[in-house]
Structure 1
Amino acid sequence: MKLLSKIRSLTTNRPRLTNLSEVVLIITCHQLELYPNQHYAVDQLWIMFLRQTWTINNMVHKVFVYGTLKRNEPNHGTMTNPENGVATFIAEGMTKEKYPLIIATKYNVPFLLHSPGTGYNVKGEIYEVDDKMLSNLDILEDHPNCYIRDKNDIVLTDSTHRTVMKCWVYFLKMFKPELLSKPFLEDYKSEGDHGLRYCERCKRDVNFKLKLAVRNDCAYL
């Protein structure tokens, strides 16, 4: 089946189709020509196409994570918990522009300060997430009360052609200038040489998050 082989070639080693228009064109042009009497085969191809369409429509957000949401970091379970939605690892990457990544507060929380041109090209991971996962990440990051989710250029570090993707990134945009005097990180690890191990939320003062909500900004950090 030439049509089936063509579609399979598009989906090899991919979690989803990336060019729906091409698939639609292939099916439309060939289904009557190649399978005038094989309605079952054509129907099966359309079922596969519709399933892939549903997957794409529900996984349309690319998110760049640089702190505790990365693999082997304290909050990565948020990304892997199916109750939170779907998150699929795409690639490792780094910010195209330099930003200051710091560790602050008594709980050693990593913050990416929105101060372009300062710091490093911060390393992290790119994920494709569905609407539900993005909503849960917004809750975790307290967007837009504390972190602000913004689109940013991320360079794939394992690409020979310096591929750039537009991804959602959680920035701290309201902060005191003295935070820029803290050491900048290029690649965050909770167990890094900095000795500032992240304190998980379950071990924190219960009033800490309430303070964020009451102040409605992070300027006091």
Structure 2
Amino acid sequence: MGHETMTQTTKTTLVFTYGTLKRGFSNHVLMQDLIRSGDASFKGVYQTLEKFPLVCGPYKVPFLLNKPGSGHHVTGELYSVSPKGLSRLDELEGISRGHYVRQQIRIGGEDLVETEVVEAYYAHKSYEEELWERNRKRSFGAYTENEAIGYVKRKDRPQHLSFLDHIRIFVSSSPCD
């Protein structure tokens, strides 16, 4: 059998990715790594059942805001991830540092018999509201090449500031459009 089949004994988690972890974006290298080691497999492209705001923060980093009913049905990619893979994703998303929170989200798609409850990384509550205000309550339905223009990789950002510092500076600055 192919290496993409994971042993059924391992408890996998379905993770809905909507930003830089998707194919063609900067953090997808981690996903490719996990797929190679058998710690993740691609399940397809899906949309959120409810509308959610998807906005950009500092350095064009995408954030899903946990505000069901606002925004759009967000399109993203679904991956089945092993516990080891999940801990690597949690590390990337700064779960322990208050960057993102991993919570449930419902998705739908043609091939889903019923709605599937999966997990997604949302913006942390500590700055979610300000990020929504800073984006003038405007959001988009998918993070595409267009939204990613100007994205700055973590290693290329000012290193003396934490990610949360970058967010604080961003939300207190005025929108340039």
TM-score, with structure 1 as normaliser: 0.65
Deviation at 1:154, TM superposition (A): 1.1
Name which of 98, 105, 121 aligns with 1:170: 121
Q: Which has the higher helix share?
A: 1
Deviations 1:18-64 (A, max 9, x none): xxxxxxxxxxxxxxxxxxxxxxxxxxxxxxxxxx7xx1222511000
> Match for residue 56 of structure 1?
8
Select the residue among 181, 188, 191 that pairs with 2:143. Answer: 188
Higher relative contact order (CA 8 A, sep 6+): 2
Percent of aligned pairs with the same residue? 33
Give, in whole Å, the separation in 1 of the partners of 2:122 and 2:41: 22
Structure 1 or 2, whichever has the larger Rg, is 1
Match of 2:42 in 1: 89
Query: After superposition, what is the alpha-carbon deviation per residue over 1:162-193, rounded to whole angstroms, capped at 9, x for unaligned?
Result: 6421111111133253432423110102x21x
Task: State whether residues 84 and 136 of structure 1, in contact with CA within 8 Å, keep that contact through their aligned partners in structure 2.
Answer: no
1:125 aligns to 2:80 (yes or no): no
Matched residues in 2 for 1:114 and 1:219: separation?
19
Q: Closer, same or farther in 2 for the Cα pair 1:97/1:219, shift >3 Å?
A: farther
Aligned 8 A contact 2:60 2:148 in 1: no
- Unpaired stretches in structure 2, ≥5 consecutive residues: 172-177
* Amino acid corresponding to residue 45 of structure 2 in structure 1: E
Q: Secondary structure at the match of 1:81?
A: helix
| Cα deviation digits, residues 65-113 of structure 1 (max 9, x gap) | 00000011111001011487611001111111111000111x1110111
Q: Distance in 2 between matches of 1:164 and 1:110?
A: 24
Letter in 2 for 1:62: L
Quote the Cα distance in structure 2 between the aligned partners of 1:142 and 1:126.
20
Question: How has the CA–CA distance of structure 1 residues 92 and 78 changed in structure 2, closer, same or farther, with 3 Å as cutoff?
Answer: same
Structure 1 unmatched runs, 5+: 1-10, 17-51
Among candidates 101, 105, 126, match of residue 54 of structure 2:
101
Moved over 3 A (4+): 82-85, 218-221
The two structures, once aligned, show a CA RMSD in angstroms of 2.7
TM-score normalised by length of structure 2: 0.79
Asked if structure 1 preserves the Cα contact closer than 8 Å seen for 2:65 and 2:128, the reply is no
Amino acid at match of 1:112: L
- Is residue 2:67 matched to residue 1:115? yes
For residue 111 of structure 1, give the secondary structure of its aligned residue in structure 2. Answer: strand
